[in-house]
Structure formats: structure tokens, C-alpha cells
Amino acid sequence: MIRGHRPAYIASGFATVTLIVASIWLYRIHPLAGITFGSTAVALAVLGHLGILAAVLGPIVARRRRAINRRK
């Protein structure tokens, strides 16, 4: 590990905890704002995971389809 740099999992965990605490705090002050912020954070996380999944599986699916089309 390079001195002065934190591992990615620590930064990711901090960001996750910050989003959760912020949405709870907003919900206690103004429920609609907390629900909106929390659901937006969840939607962004889901879209991020789907993007990674598409980037990983896209080339695999394309290669498989080309192999199936060559057999025909």
C-alpha cells in the first residue's frame, strides 16, 4: 500500500455509511427529503452495479453469439 492512500474498500464503506446516515438524518428533519435522497442513492448504486455487470458480460455474450452464428 502506498503511504497516505487508503484502500478503495475503506472509501467505499465511508461513502455508503455517509449516504445511509444522511438519508436517516434528512428523514428525521423532513420525511419527503429523506425518502427522496435515500431512494436516489439506492437507484444510483443499482445503476452502477448494472453498468459493471454489462461491461463484464457484454463481450462474453457477443463472443458466444458469434460462435453460435458461425455454426449455422
Mean pLDDT lowest among 2-6, 9-13, 35-39, 46-50: 2-6
Contact between 24 and 34 under an 8 Å Cβ cutoff? The reply is yes
DSSP-derived secondary structure letter, 67: H
Distance CA 12, CA 45 (A): 11
Question: Could you tell me how far CA 49 lies from the centroid of its own chain?
Answer: 4
pLDDT at 1 over 60: no
pTM: 0.54
pLDDT tens-digit map of 20-58:
888 888 888 888 888 888 888 888 888 888 988 999 999
Domain residue spans of the chain: 8-71
DSSP-derived secondary structure letter, 71: H
